[in-house]
Amino acid sequence: MATLPNIPNLFLDSEKSDFDDVIAEIAAGEASVFALRCHNLGPSAELTETLAAAYLLTNAILMARSRRKIVKLISFDVADENLRYGYANSFRALFDSDFSSLDNVERWHDFLEARQHVDVGALEDTQIAIEFFRHAGISSSASSLHRATVYMGMEGVPAGDSAGGQFHFDDANLYAPQLVGADASTGIALKSVFLAKGVKVRTGRRGQNVVIELDCAEAATGIANWLAHLERILALDFYRMGV
Please report the DSSP string for 92-154 in residue order: HHHHTSGGG-GGGHHHHHHHHHHTT---HHHHHHHHHHHHHHHHTT--HHHHHH----EEEEE
Residues in Cβ contact with 240 at an 8 Å cutoff, skipping those fewer than 6 apart: 192, 193, 194, 195
Query: For each of the chain's 243 residues, which pLDDT tens digit applies?
Result: 444 445 568 888 888 988 988 999 999 989 999 999 999 998 887 899 999 999 998 888 888 777 788 999 999 999 888 888 899 999 999 998 889 887 788 888 888 888 766 655 555 666 666 666 555 554 444 444 456 789 999 999 999 888 899 999 999 998 899 999 999 999 998 988 889 999 999 988 766 799 999 999 999 999 989 888 877 777 654 434 444
Residue-wise burial string across 123-160, b where 16 or more C-beta atoms lie within 10 A, e elsewhere: eebbeebbebbeeeeeeeeebeeeebebbbbbbebbbe
Query: What is the strand order of the sheet 178-180 is part of?
Result: 168-170, 178-180, 185-187
The values of phi and psi at residue 200, to 5°, are -130, 130
Residue 81: how many other CB atoms lie within 10 Å: 13
CA distance 72 to 16: 15
Residue 75: how many other CB atoms lie within 10 Å: 25
Say how many CA atoms lie within 13 Å of 102 toward its Cβ.
23
- Which residues are registered as beta bridge partners of 199? 196, 214
Contact call for residues 196 and 119 (beta carbons, < 8 A): no
Model's pTM, two decimal places? 0.86
Residue 101: how many other CB atoms lie within 10 Å: 18
Task: Give first-to-last CA distance, the chain, whole Å.
Answer: 44
